[in-house]
Each structure stands twice: as structure tokens, then as C-alpha cells.
Amino acid sequence: MELLIALALMTAFAYFGRKVLKKHPWMFYSAALVLDAGYLYYRFFCDFHPIAQVLMIYMQRGLLAFALFVVVMYIGVLSDSSKLYKALMPVRSELSIVACILILGHMIGYLIGYLASLQVGVSAMRPNILLALIIAVLLTVLVGVLGITSFKRIRIRMQPKVWKRIQRWAYVFFALVFVHLGLFLIPAALSGSKVWLQALVYLVLFAAYVILRIRKDRKKDRV
């Protein structure tokens, strides 16, 4: 399953590439932009190519970006004393920025498709697609705000309280991502499509995160 492969790849990237990412973040930001550009180029201007096909699978569906967002999410719910938390927390902002850049290709590609649908008329769009479009607009705004404020140069110019308040919108972002996915996957699963297994994986990821988040917050309250 492509989603599980993407999760494995991004988890390995976050852990084994953390030191290089911390020292040379712009190298990875540039690489993410190149992937976006390559995906959009192959999608709109090129014929079939094996490499392009692999790129299309993981970039068109936003799997690489989503998997990296999941890594960023789960870093926040790890125990503060765990080795994994101490290893990944210092690069959480950089990982978030890479994920925000990677999702741009997915957003631009689908935005073009949405614009074509809007030309036909809003009334002609299925309710779930229209709602998904509205959520996509909100997600685009949140990606911009959260991504920009994750840059160190921007963060140090902001008051800590303001920055933390803005970053709390990441919870809204993550929730909307899963709602957005559900608007596509649930109708397809109910109609008999095989995507029900994929929908189940997304549900488990979200439910596990919520449980771990609540658990960690309760532990902090006790202290």
C-alpha cells in the first residue's frame, strides 16, 4: 500500500536525515520544490514515463507530504523523556516546512481541476466535492500561515505567545486534513470500492493521535 510505504519513507527520512536537515535545511526545502515542479511538469506537459508514474502516485495524492505531517503530529505526542522525542523534536519545524512545501504540488494540481469544475457551475458539483473544495481553501491558508511562521527568521521576530497561539492552529489543520480525506474516501468505500482499507488506515492514524494527545495533556495537567 502506497500510504504505508510513504509513512515508512518519511519516518526514516526524519530520523536518519535529522542531523543533515538541521545543518542544511534549505537543501531539503529546495529538493521539495524540485519534486513539486517535477510532478507538475510531468502531470501537465509530459507523456507516460515510469519515473513520472511513481512521482505521480506519491505527489498527486499528497502521500509524501501527508506522511511527513503525520510524523510531525506524532512527534508532539511522544513522551518528552523518550529518545525518539529528543532526537526528532529539534527538527520538527524543519520537517513541518518540508511537508508544507511538498503539499504545494498536490494543492496546485488539484486547484486547476477544481477551477475547471467551478466553470461548469457550483450547482453541478457533488456536495462532498464542494465541501472538500471549501476545506481545501482553508487548508491552503493554514499551510501558508503555519509554514511561514515555522521559519526560524520569522519565528524569532514574533512574540512567543503569539507564535504559540498561531501554531495551535496546527490542530485545526490536522483535523481538517482528515475531514478532507474522508469526504473522498468514505463515499467511495460505501459504494463498494476497495479504498475502505485505506480509509481504515487514515482513521486509525487520526484516532491514535487523538488518544495520545489527550493522554499527554492529562499527564501534564497532573504535574
Please give the Cα distance from 173 to 146 (Å, whole number): 9
- pLDDT given for residue 110 in this prediction: 83
- pLDDT given for residue 143 in this prediction: 94
Q: What is the pLDDT along the chain (223 residues), one digit of tens a residue?
A: 789 999 999 999 999 999 999 999 999 999 999 999 988 888 888 766 676 777 778 888 899 999 999 999 999 999 999 999 999 999 999 999 999 999 999 998 888 777 766 666 666 677 888 888 889 989 999 999 999 999 989 999 999 899 999 999 999 999 999 999 888 888 877 776 678 888 888 999 999 999 999 999 888 777 6
DSSP string, 90-136: GGHHHHHHHHHHHHHHHHHHHHHHHHHHHHH-GGGS-HHHHHHHHHH
Sign of the CA dihedral with 117 first, then 119, 125, and 127 last: positive
Sign of the CA dihedral with 124 first, then 129, 131, and 137 last: negative
Please give the Cα distance from 57 to 139 (Å, whole number): 21
Please give the Cα distance from 153 to 145 (Å, whole number): 14
Q: Within 10 A of 103 (CB to CB), how many other CB atoms are there?
A: 24
- pLDDT given for residue 122 in this prediction: 64
Please give the Cα distance from 76 to 216 (Å, whole number): 9
Please give the Cα distance from 95 to 199 (Å, whole number): 25
pTM value is 0.91
**C-alpha distance from residue 111 to each of 32, 60, 108, 132 (Å):** 19, 12, 5, 11
